[in-house]
Structure 1
């Protein structure tokens, strides 16, 4: 029997943060909350959640009332330890920045029903993609810019040295001063991209967290695992989980059904059955992830086509070119030439 439908929700702590950031800039907090539909009682309950629609109204109204189209980008500077409770502490107690991002990707569901982070290895670094796990739904401008900026802010805080991205992209259109973005990320972003993301170099990801405490880390992550197990996802996105695992591991060749099933703590038969129930097959997901990544990589002029083939797990360029022609009806060279 299908689970009853419910609207996507986020931690009320996110709403509290937006209200506090706006109030610090002179916005009437009470009126902002009332107009967005955020009940004051939710701010007093650390476990409270609120509809995603309320969060998006808060971001939009806060930006309008501050008169700042880059409100979300600038609000990230106000993040402090504990702002997002267990998720925040799980990230901050990781031994290095790469592990911190892996924990963010795993535990983000503690604060948001739809938002996910996909970690995709690229040449010399890692691309962190931020998206919603629901068709036709995307993060609002302010939330998207806050989220990517917060990655750089928190990485700088816990790593003890400034962090700069190699590249940044947003799925929405441009709407602010390029220098303001450069001040946060170290580079100017690209807009109207397929997905909002940033790229961090391996040298940055390997930085140790000076204040990391292995004992505290074990306690925090054990608690985070308990909360994650208790917090059922909005849907049963087995296919979405498989796609994420495939994207993360693709550069080493697509993982097998057995490997993915093990990562999801399922038998191969159980995983196949769940995918069947969702109307898809493992092989189709592998092909779909490869196609999606191929389109993104080919659109990135910094990557040679030979590197694209490698990042997609092809042993040599020729099978990649054949697959790309099957996916798109044209060649990667033609697509790149047309984009110039």
Structure 2
């Protein structure tokens, strides 16, 4: 199955071309990208076509920083419901973790990771398919957009500690310095944004747990439709729906997917996972988000995650994080607001 990109990503290219006074339509047609589908929220384009379009657009604009211009036209809907889940996240760490988990909604060719050291968190963007060589402008636009999203939630004064770009040094570095406002290494082994951990753990004024969860469901439903072959994504989507009922079981998930429990077990095994693993992973991710929300009690979180008793939840949480929910919340609260 060929890799695809969400259509709204191409809309940024169209708007950026217009800002340069370029006629976008012939470039889209030359790249094999149908402009009639730009406003279709469920449409996707082949990554190979988008790569051609990025390169053609950069040539037409005669600006090596074309990707940075395109990033200025970002809107929450560029990332479908993930954009709104991002804005409603508790912290930038939560937001970036959502991007890691659901990044395929933007591009199924993308490889996204989040790693931390003692004082930093590193966001790395690469290609999941070594046969796909992303356009420089596409990477520039993606990292500039992600940084812009961080600033829209945290504040315009947010700056990364460092920026690594695999691309060669552009003739005019000024545009990159103005956007990233951090030391930039060109010709780096990876495309990466490095942040201060304190900034990423700071509670955001736009946080809204209910809105974030609602949009998470929309994202997982979208991905399930997009990739019907991935039973893993379909199970994750149903877990988000059923966990708080306290009755999320392999049998109930199988019924919701119109397959037998045995068939579900077999398909998950073929996908390299198990129901137990997906249940544990989903609970673990949600638990971290919920515990950082001071308005939720341990009893409420126990209910939301489908545990029968608070003690069971607390034991699981300590297994995941090495500390109790109370200790974890205290350490999160100690981060600057």
Give the corresponding residue for 2:55: 60
Question: What SS is found at the alignment partner of 1:120?
Answer: strand
Question: What SS is found at the alignment partner of 1:223?
Answer: helix
- Pairing 1:124-203 to 2, within 5 Å after superposition: 124-203=119-198
Give the corresponding residue for 1:318: none
Kindly indicate whether the alpha-carbon contact (under 8 Å) linking 2:121 and 2:194 is maintained by their aligned counterparts in 1.
yes
In structure 2, relative to structure 1, the CA distance for the partners of 1:68 and 1:235 (3 Å cut) is farther
Question: What SS is found at the alignment partner of 2:45?
Answer: strand
Number of equivalences? 243
Task: Write the distance in 2 (CA, Å) between the matches of 1:40 and 1:179.
Answer: 32
In structure 2, relative to structure 1, the CA distance for the partners of 1:108 and 1:274 (3 Å cut) is closer
Instruction: Give the TM-score taking structure 1 as reference length.
Output: 0.65
Q: Does 1:83 align with 2:85?
A: no
- Pairing 1:20-35 to 2, within 5 Å after superposition: 20-35=15-30
Instruction: Give the TM-score taking structure 2 as reference length.
Output: 0.65
Task: Write the distance in 1 (CA, Å) between the matches of 2:48 and 2:271.
Answer: 30
In structure 2, relative to structure 1, the CA distance for the partners of 1:203 and 1:51 (3 Å cut) is same
Kindly indicate whether the alpha-carbon contact (under 8 Å) linking 2:164 and 2:185 is maintained by their aligned counterparts in 1.
yes
In structure 2, relative to structure 1, the CA distance for the partners of 1:127 and 1:44 (3 Å cut) is closer
Gaps of 5+ in 2: 233-265, 273-337
Give, in angstroms, the shift of residue 98 of structure 1. Answer: 0.7
In structure 2, relative to structure 1, the CA distance for the partners of 1:30 and 1:101 (3 Å cut) is same
Give the corresponding residue for 1:17: 12
In structure 2, relative to structure 1, the CA distance for the partners of 1:216 and 1:183 (3 Å cut) is same
In structure 2, relative to structure 1, the CA distance for the partners of 1:180 and 1:44 (3 Å cut) is closer
Give the corresponding residue for 1:114: 109
- Pairing 1:155-304 to 2, within 5 Å after superposition: 155-232=150-227
Give, in angstroms, the shift of residue 234 of structure 1. Answer: 8.8
Question: What SS is found at the alignment partner of 2:77?
Answer: coil
In structure 2, relative to structure 1, the CA distance for the partners of 1:177 and 1:274 (3 Å cut) is same
Task: Write the distance in 2 (CA, Å) between the matches of 1:80 and 1:117.
Answer: 20
Give, in angstroms, the shift of residue 67 of structure 1. Answer: 1.2
Kindly indicate whether the alpha-carbon contact (under 8 Å) linking 1:73 and 1:146 is maintained by their aligned counterparts in 2.
yes
Kindly indicate whether the alpha-carbon contact (under 8 Å) linking 1:114 and 1:234 is maintained by their aligned counterparts in 2.
no
**What is the CA deviation profile of residues 4-37 of structure 1, one whole-angstrom value per residue up to 9, with x for unaligned ones?**
xx32111111112211121122110222222221
Kindly indicate whether the alpha-carbon contact (under 8 Å) linking 2:85 and 2:213 is maintained by their aligned counterparts in 1.
no
Task: Write the distance in 2 (CA, Å) between the matches of 1:58 and 1:234.
Answer: 28
**What is the CA deviation profile of residues 20-78 of structure 1, one whole-angstrom value per residue up to 9, with x for unaligned ones?**
12112211022222222111332242211111111112211111111101110232122
Kindly indicate whether the alpha-carbon contact (under 8 Å) linking 1:125 and 1:199 is maintained by their aligned counterparts in 2.
yes
**Structure 1 residue ranges, 4+ long, deviating more than 3 angstroms after superposition:** 233-237, 269-275
In structure 2, relative to structure 1, the CA distance for the partners of 1:47 and 1:272 (3 Å cut) is closer
In structure 2, relative to structure 1, the CA distance for the partners of 1:83 and 1:270 (3 Å cut) is closer
Task: Write the distance in 2 (CA, Å) between the matches of 1:156 and 1:82.
Answer: 17
